[in-house]
Amino acid sequence: MSIIDFLRASLLQGAVSYSAPLLTAAMGELLLERCGMLDVSLEGKMALGASIGFLVYYFTGQVLLGLAASMIIGAIIGIAFGYIAVYLKGNQIITGMGFLILSTGLASLIYRLTIGIRNVAPEVKTLDNIKLPLLGKIPYLGQVFFTQPALAYFAYLLVPIMIFVLYKTPLGLHIRACGESPRALDTLGVNVFKIRLWVSAVSGGLIALGGAYLPMVLTATYEDGMIAGRGWLVLQLVIFGRYLPTAVLLGSLFFGYLESLKFSLILLVPQLPPQLFLMLPYLCAMIVLVFSQKTYRPESLLKPYYREKKN
């Protein structure tokens, strides 16, 4: 193997595509944590988004309806989580674990009730790559970055949108204040509870959309366990990226590259067992976790806000 094998355009093109679902879900989780809440049910939300999005797309043939359905179900779960965490002051970790189990179970249950048991899993047509005019003609870079499915472009468009909203708008200032000093924000007459609830809804929608990316772009079908730990990777991306959209983007590309690389290594080095390469992203995730123990986090993260007493 040479360095050329690790920089092939097709390999990097796959890395960009594999990173998109991580990035989409990570933008949702970043928004939530900047607002002072942490949701550990990402794995379940992504599975539910994948299941609902696939089923709606399969029965209607309309990909936009499938994407909308996945975001709606994610937003509903997000609102439910937000209501318990914000208004009922529930423990966010315990609540998140409950929704993780609920969402994962619902994803499988709804799929089985709708599709039943089949010898051959139903499939949908995956989204085609779109080659952007002019940019797609750039040698090498055109194939890597500008020949991607529409959902990948949307994922990367979320990064500048998130930067603009968080750092250039009053709404973004309020969101960040919810995570740092909700009492100071409350004294200005801004409803902390309402902001956190609606941010939880938007976050849930984006996380579920990240899950819907898998059957609509990568696998063409839904199966139990297809999220395969991506929800936990997203949590690490947000924390290790210090809640900065650009850093989360780079982390998503890194894990997307590992995801693409493992399949190439299986073909390039057939002498070694494929399981060794399949574990590569998760091994790197464990290393990242070790170094993310003392990173910055919002001051009021995981802390319920009580208006009637001092925090």
Whether 193 maps to a domain, the answer reads yes
Instruction: Evaluate whether residue 32 is within a structural domain.
Output: yes
State whether residue 131 is helix, strand or coil.
strand
Q: What is the CATH classification number for the domain harbouring 59?
A: 1.10.3470
Q: What are phi and psi of 87, to 5 degrees?
A: -90, -35
What is the rounded distance in angstroms from the CA atom of residue 257 to the CA atom of residue 95?
33
pLDDT tens sequence for the chain (311 residues): 556 667 788 889 999 999 999 999 999 999 999 999 999 999 999 999 999 999 999 999 999 999 999 999 999 999 999 999 999 999 999 999 999 999 999 999 999 999 988 888 899 999 999 999 988 889 999 999 999 999 999 999 999 999 999 999 999 999 999 999 999 999 999 999 999 999 999 999 999 999 999 999 999 999 999 998 899 999 988 988 889 999 999 999 999 998 888 877 877 777 777 777 778 777 887 877 777 666 778 999 989 998 865 54
Spatial CB neighbours of 182, under 8 Å, sequence gap ≥ 6: 36, 192, 300, 305, 311
C-alpha closest to that of 86 among 38, 25, 45, 28: 38
Q: Which burial class, exposed, middle or buried, applies to 244 when counting CB atoms under 10 A from its CB (0-12, 13-18, 19+)?
A: middle
Q: What is the pLDDT of residue 2?
A: 59
The tally of domains found in the chain comes to 1
Is residue 137 in a domain? no
Q: Report the pLDDT value the prediction gives residue 3, as an integer from 0 to 100.
A: 63
Helix (H, G, I), strand (E, B) or coil at 130: strand
Among the listed residues 299, 297, 87, the one whose alpha carbon sits nearest the alpha carbon of residue 191? 87
| pTM for this model (two decimals) | 0.93
Domain that holds residue 207: 7-117+146-291
Task: Yes or no: say if 216 and 126 are a contact pair by the CB < 8 Å rule.
Answer: yes
Q: From CA 51, how far away is CA 172, in angstroms rounded?
A: 32
pLDDT of residue 311: 47
- Coil, strand or helix at 147: strand
pLDDT reported for residue 60:
95
Q: Which of 305, 52, 307 shows the shortest CA–CA distance to 197?
A: 305
Let me know if 198 is exposed, middle or buried by CB neighbors in 10 A (0-12, 13-18, 19+).
Answer: middle
Question: Does residue 51 fall inside a structural domain?
Answer: yes
pLDDT at site 242: 86
Residue 127 resides in a domain: no
Position 305 in a domain:
no
Residue 310 counted as domain residue: no
298 part of a folded domain: no
Q: What is the DSSP string of 259-302?
A: HHHHHHHHHH-TTS-HHHHHTHHHHHHHHHHHHTTT----TTTT
